[in-house]
Amino acid sequence: NLFLSFQSSLTGPLLSQKFCLGGLMLNTDSFFFFAFLLLKSIVCEKTIPLAIEGKGPCKENTKKIQKLLDEYHYVPKLGLRALKNNSSKIIGVVIHSSRYYENSAISDTFYSHIIGAMEEMLRKAGYYMMLYAAQNLEEIFHMALAWNVDGLIAITFTYRDYIKLKTLVNKPIVAIDLINKENSDYVNVGLQDKKGGYIMTKYLLEKGYESIYVCARKNIGVDHERWLGYREAWKEAGKEFLSNDF
């Protein structure tokens, strides 16, 4: 009966076929392997997907299937699991690098430390990390739409680009070091950059220093926030800040 139903379902090239076995969508390779297991173990077709997850109703049949799976080194494909559970277990990590890196953005210690920590935590939680870094935002948007991720982590995005990405993918999204925040409709992990600039400048002013400058690559993003804190400290001290302070 199994092979009769298989033959009647053929409508195109064999390699492009997908089949349903025990409620699980399978490609050609997996179908033949599962069919082989059915003939080898003589169990109900619904038993195999349940046995793979260790949830078979009959412990004896579950052990029989799992023994065969181990014997033939079967590894469930992530794509099949995603079809069944509607979850890919993949978290996309997208980096919008604002400048050119000689090797890659990952060579920057700021990004590499964050990526290393995230990968470890995601792995412990049973997820996989997909990483994509680019200067071109359209490339990032295209990647995020092309893959069925369970969620996104957006690093060094502006608020507006973060909102656009959130709208496009319609998936949970968390920002790291969000720039130019305009509203409160975001989830961000970051520092209090303006307050940090304020505290540092206030400390130097209280120590009697007055030739204080802000040294950074560009007066945008987190550097701009720190510069605003710097000027706030000067204003609070009742002093005129340097005209060419950045």
Distance from C-alpha of 191 to C-alpha of 206, rounded to nearest angstrom: 24
* 199-243 tens-digit pLDDT: 999 999 999 998 899 988 778 778 888 999 999 999 999 988 777
CB 142: neighbour CB atoms within 10 A?
13
Whether the pLDDT of residue 143 is over 70: the answer is yes
- Averaged pLDDT for residues 189-197: 91
Least confident range from 6-20, 136-150, 154-168: namely 6-20
Asked whether 115 and 93 are in contact (CB, 8 A), the reply is yes
CA 39 from centre of chain: 40
> To the nearest 5 percent, what fractions of the chain are helix, strand and coil?
50, 15, 35
pLDDT higher at 207 or 34: 207
pLDDT at 99: 64
What's the CA dihedral at 118, 87, 185, 157 to 10 degrees?
A: 50
pLDDT at 102: 59
Distance from C-alpha of 121 to C-alpha of 27, rounded to nearest angstrom: 32
* 115-124 tens-digit pLDDT: 999 999 999 9
* 57-98 tens-digit pLDDT: 677 777 777 777 777 666 666 655 555 567 788 999 999 886
- Predicted TM-score (pTM) of this structure: 0.64
Of 36, 39, 31, 58, give the one whose Cα is nearest residue 47: 58
Whether the pLDDT of residue 195 is over 90: the answer is yes
Asked whether 104 and 141 are in contact (CB, 8 A), the reply is no
Of 87, 89, 93, give the one whose Cα is nearest residue 117: 93
What backbone phi and psi angles, to 5 degrees, belong to 47? -70, -35
